[in-house]
Amino acid sequence: MARIPPVAYEESTGEVRVEFDRIIDEHGRLTNMKQTLGHSATALRSLMTWYPVRDEVQAFLGSRATTLFVHAISSATDCLICSTFFRRILIDAGENPDRLALDAREQAVVDFARQLVNDPNQVTDELYGRLAGHFEPAQIVALTAFGGIMIATNVFNNALRVDLDEYLQPYRREAPAAALSRKGDA
């Protein structure tokens, strides 16, 4: 259950209403995360910078590799909302998110994503070299900043236990049976 209730569109005012209207115009829906961010117009605007940075990254990375990157981050942070959102994109594209076939470029991107989550201080020269073999410095800067914004989004959702949006429920990853039985014992 969410720790902070989402701000309903009908109850939003001022700067938040302006942001909500812009989000609906540009993205078609207000998600639980965005409505929860609606408690602070500044916080909402801050995390909404995800979209222009994503667009910059997607221009050189491509749609699939961009999704692989943010899916890897969201899975590594165990963010239910974001990992499920990106699972949906992969599934709707005909892929199995649990059995992805990656080329060397995509593998470098996914490995970098996971390392940003696990310990960004330990990005090895070998891993950086694999990235640098595919991307220019400006692209690596954009990719790293995008990863940081994605991690911030995941932290927000996880810390505040933002509820999974109903439209994402069919894409939710099933928990292994052992994990389900352990949760029931708690």
User: What are the backbone angles phi and psi of residue 51, rounded to the nearest 5°?
Assistant: -65, -50
pLDDT at 178: 43
pLDDT of residue 179 exceeding 50, the answer is no
Which pLDDT belongs to residue 174? 78
CA-based angle 128:134:138, to the nearest 5?
75
Q: How far is CA 98 from CA 51, 86, 119, in A?
A: 25, 12, 23
Cα three-residue angle 4-170-20, rounded to 5 degrees: 40
Question: Are the beta carbons of 87 and 98 closer than 8 angstroms?
Answer: no
Residue type, 77: T
Kindly report, residue by residue over 117-159, the tens digit of the pLDDT: 999 999 999 999 999 999 999 999 999 999 999 999 999 999 9
Per-residue pLDDT reduced to its tens digit, 42-78: 999 999 999 999 999 999 999 999 999 999 999 999 9
**Predicted pLDDT at 165:** 96
Mean pLDDT of 79-89: 97
User: Do residues 147 and 112 make contact, with C-beta atoms less than 8 angstroms apart?
Assistant: yes
Instruction: Indicate the pLDDT class of residue 176, thresholds 50, 70 and 90.
Output: low
User: What confidence tens digit (pLDDT) does each residue in 17-34 have?
Assistant: 999 999 999 999 999 999
Residue-range domains of the chain with CATH: 1-48 (no CATH), 50-173 (1.20.1290.10)
pLDDT value at residue 186: 38
At how many degrees (to 10) do helices 50-61 and 63-76 cross?
A: 130
CA–CA dist 23, 41 (Å, integer): 12
User: What is the reported pLDDT for 173?
Assistant: 85
Question: Is the pTM of the predicted complex or chain greater than 0.75?
Answer: yes
